[in-house]
Structure 1
Amino acid sequence: MALMKRRSSRPHERKAMVARGEITLAEINSQPGLWAEALQVFKAQAHEITSFWSTNAFDQIILTGCGSTYYLGVTGASLLQAATGTPARAISASELMLFPDKTFHNSIQTLLVCLSRSGTTRETVEAARLFRQFGKGSIVVITCDSSSPLAQLADRLLAIDAAQEQSRVQTRSFSSMAVILTALAAALGGQDWQSLDALPEALTRLMGRSESLIRHLGEDLSITQFAFLGSGPLYGLACEAMLKMTEMSRVFSTGYHVLEYLHGPRYAADASTLIAGLVSESAFTEEVQALKTLLSRRARVLALAEANSEGLGELDFALTIDSQLPEWGRAILYLPPLQLLGWHQAIQRGFDPDDLAYDPRDQPIP
């Protein structure tokens, strides 16, 4: 008989004690402190991880997870390949579980990076087990539960248990694992990963600076469709923002590469659409030009960018990140304001992000 991992405390059991959505809101706001802890987790193992990498000649890197953590893998693959030069890609754990022989080969030295908040996700645990059977190489696990079944399968474990949530919605767990993954990519690629120590303070500044705009857009019920756009490592974060908006507010949302949105999906945009563009530094000109063309659809356009550079003023809204970090180190900063956007939309529509109908952590452990 399959066992269930059941959390000891449920948001709906505490409804009389807290206001609607307050647990999720507190967890969103706790991210600066958790990011600092995540960096300490990585710092404690940085030397061992880099030695492990240098003594293994990996031919490829595969990142895997489900839902949010699959999108985290998409972002991580972009960062890891850019930093190390080793081919990296994200594959859904469900695909690896169902078709392991289509991906795993015992002739290819592979680093499998498994991502899971709970460490009990059935598909991800099974993908790791099947890798031992069909593949060749090592497993790195990034999770928020160091005692989980997935953690037990790791050759190298990076766990930030403090980032686990009471809410069913992944917010701080996702971003804390993203900080560890960003540090991992930087360290393996010889970049100055310790410059990421500036991330927590950069996030604190950003959340304070963005609060008014995010609240304004979050309380606007005339918006009935969201499109989140990003390229490179920002694409995975755009998809995660889409998922957060869908889970919390139940408003129709999509996630696309910036330029890909122009090839068909833009025709669904209208005056009731908010398009949020996560603008990169490397492709700034192309991406801003693409966002400008969307104004003709009468959609409202929000751009998030490192600096308030030329062209952003022509859009409806602009939010500057102003992190002063290298481009590879700042990606995760784009996400928390969009998490908060989803939270405001949910509360305004009468939904409770603390108490979704389904909790992905409640499932059989293989």
Structure 2
Amino acid sequence: MFNLTTEELQTKQALTTATEIYQQPEVWQELVKNLMAKKESMQSFLNMILSKHEQVRVIFTGAGTSAFIGDIVAPVLQKENLDKLSFESIPTTDIVSNPDYYLQKDKPTIMVSFARSGNSPESVASVALGEQKIIDFYQVVISCNKDGQLAKNSKDDKNSIILLTPDKAHDQGFAMTSSFSSMMLTAYAFFAPTSFYNNEMMNHLISNGERIVSKVADVIDEILDFDFTRLVYLGSGPLAQLSHEAALKMLELSAGKVVAVHESTLGFRHGPKSILNEQSLVVMFLSSDPYTRKYDLDMLKELSSEDSGMKVIVLTEKEEEKALTAEADWVIAVNDSESSFDSDFYLSLLYVIFAQALALKKSIQLGITPDNPSPDGRVNRVVKGVTIYPN
């Protein structure tokens, strides 16, 4: 996997993380089958809620990577203009510390909790606060762990539904990879089933995912010849939110040795661009939307015109965009099929594989152990040390 043997990955304590990145297309395929089997019960649960209320607020919540899922999915679903539903993304860390800012008593609310383990104290506390403060409160638990506290607490609640990812998505490595993409797909399937169960789109996603995990290491090995110590991820709309997750993967797996930041394409000029120096690597997630893409390409031209010694990587959908080659040091196309994706949502799932694999291989290059990049316990796979106070 990723141009390393199983023995090498074991020696470098990277096998678990590498496997969990590599297996994602296979996990997605299993996930689609599982969700198809639950399609009717999911729709019935949502219809039950919509039949009772004129307008329903949907809060996507989680902490860290789990929170970023909501950040990406919320604008995608808002664009789908689903009747009676409005979507927001609010981290559990904000809900727990400031519940009265975010939980509204008289607004019917579906809280969608994303949780790899389901045992994070903020996740459990956010649900308890929702039940306490909101009159018409409903819950969708999207988790990778059937034995987690979130799943257990909602098991016999008629106002809750539990959606579990395949067992393989319950990542055992430090960083969330399979769990991230699987929970993101599950949320989309629940609220936009017509789009999700488009066989053509899902087949393209899975086949291109298989190609990327098999080949992306070749270009990553070239990139790693450039000794970068700063990494910037840029994107627009949902891809700006994806850049947050991409930067976190590098920060986590490099144990902070690579300064990794994120920003929106247009926001980058407004101060954050100050971070660039001769040891910077900039990764641009190009949008498939023709209008949005104009702004992405303007930033690409601006970066390529600078003589700072930094390097620029562009992730885009199609390989035929050769004009990009003159502007970037590397151009990575994620869709080699004739058909195009109809949303940046699908591109985000392919783009993130690159970010995960880059973080993995940079971690190994730095001599860090990706499966446990923080052996001193400074940060943990499931957060520790949180005190939940009564409200």
* TM score, norm. by length of structure 2: 0.83
1:254 is matched with which residue: 229, 252, 261?
261
Alignment check: 8 A CA contact 2:234 2:264 kept = yes
**What's 1:92 paired with?**
91
1:319 is matched with which residue: 332, 335, 338?
332
**What's 2:157 paired with?**
none
Q: Secondary structure, in 3 states, of the residue corresponding to 1:227? A: strand
**What's 2:143 paired with?**
143
Computed over aligned residues only, the root mean square deviation of the Cα atoms, in angstroms, reads 2.3
**What's 1:200 paired with?**
206
**What's 1:9 paired with?**
none
Say which structure, 1 or 2, has more relative contact order (CA 8 Å, 6+ apart): 1
**What's 1:345 paired with?**
362
Q: Does 1:296 align with 2:300?
A: no
Partner deviation per Cα, 1:320-358 (whole Å, 9 max, x = no partner)? 111633214332111011100011111111111111223
**What's 2:237 paired with?**
232
Whole-Å separation in 2 of the counterparts to 1:326 and 1:118: 32
2:40 is matched with which residue: 30, 42, 47?
47
Whole-Å separation in 2 of the counterparts to 1:307 and 1:157: 37
Offset of 1:54 from its aligned partner? 3.0
For residues 295 and 267 of structure 1, do their structure 2 counterparts lie closer, same or farther at Cα, with a shift above 3 Å needed?
farther
For residues 312 and 17 of structure 1, do their structure 2 counterparts lie closer, same or farther at Cα, with a shift above 3 Å needed?
closer
Offset of 1:212 from its aligned partner? 1.2
For residues 333 and 156 of structure 1, do their structure 2 counterparts lie closer, same or farther at Cα, with a shift above 3 Å needed?
same
**What's 1:360 paired with?**
381
Q: Secondary structure, in 3 states, of the residue corresponding to 1:191? A: helix
1:281 is matched with which residue: 288, 292, 301?
288
Alignment check: 8 A CA contact 2:196 2:202 kept = no
Aligned positions of 1:1-366 closer than 5 A = 18-55=11-48, 56=50, 57=53, 58-85=55-82, 86-135=85-134, 136-154=136-154, 155-160=160-165, 161-187=167-193, 190-195=194-199, 196-198=201-203, 199-217=205-223, 219-220=224-225, 222-249=227-254, 250=256, 251-282=258-289, 283-297=292-306, 298=308, 299-308=310-319, 309=321, 311-313=323-325, 314-322=327-335, 324-327=340-343, 328-357=345-374, 358-361=379-382, 363=384
Aligned-partner residue type, residue 300 of structure 2:
L
Offset of 1:181 from its aligned partner? 2.1
Partner deviation per Cα, 1:164-183 (whole Å, 9 max, x = no partner)? 12211111111111221232
Offset of 1:17 from its aligned partner? 6.0
Offset of 1:310 from its aligned partner? 6.1
Alignment check: 8 A CA contact 2:58 2:112 kept = yes
For residues 116 and 225 of structure 1, do their structure 2 counterparts lie closer, same or farther at Cα, with a shift above 3 Å needed?
same
Whole-Å separation in 2 of the counterparts to 1:221 and 1:300: 8
Alignment check: 8 A CA contact 1:93 1:124 kept = yes
Q: Secondary structure, in 3 states, of the residue corresponding to 1:52? A: helix
Whole-Å separation in 2 of the counterparts to 1:356 and 1:296: 36
Whole-Å separation in 1 of the counterparts to 2:122 and 2:323: 44
Alignment check: 8 A CA contact 2:12 2:369 kept = no
Whole-Å separation in 1 of the counterparts to 2:382 and 2:262: 24
Between the two proteins, what is the percent identity of the paired residues? 27
Offset of 1:271 from its aligned partner? 2.2
Partner deviation per Cα, 1:95-152 (whole Å, 9 max, x = no partner)? 1011112111121111111111000011111001110011233111111012211113
Q: Secondary structure, in 3 states, of the residue corresponding to 1:146? A: coil
For residues 80 and 159 of structure 1, do their structure 2 counterparts lie closer, same or farther at Cα, with a shift above 3 Å needed?
same
Aligned-partner residue type, residue 31 of structure 1:
Q
Aligned residue pairs, count: 350
Offset of 1:221 from its aligned partner? 5.2
Whole-Å separation in 1 of the counterparts to 2:315 and 2:19: 23
Aligned-partner residue type, residue 229 of structure 2:
T
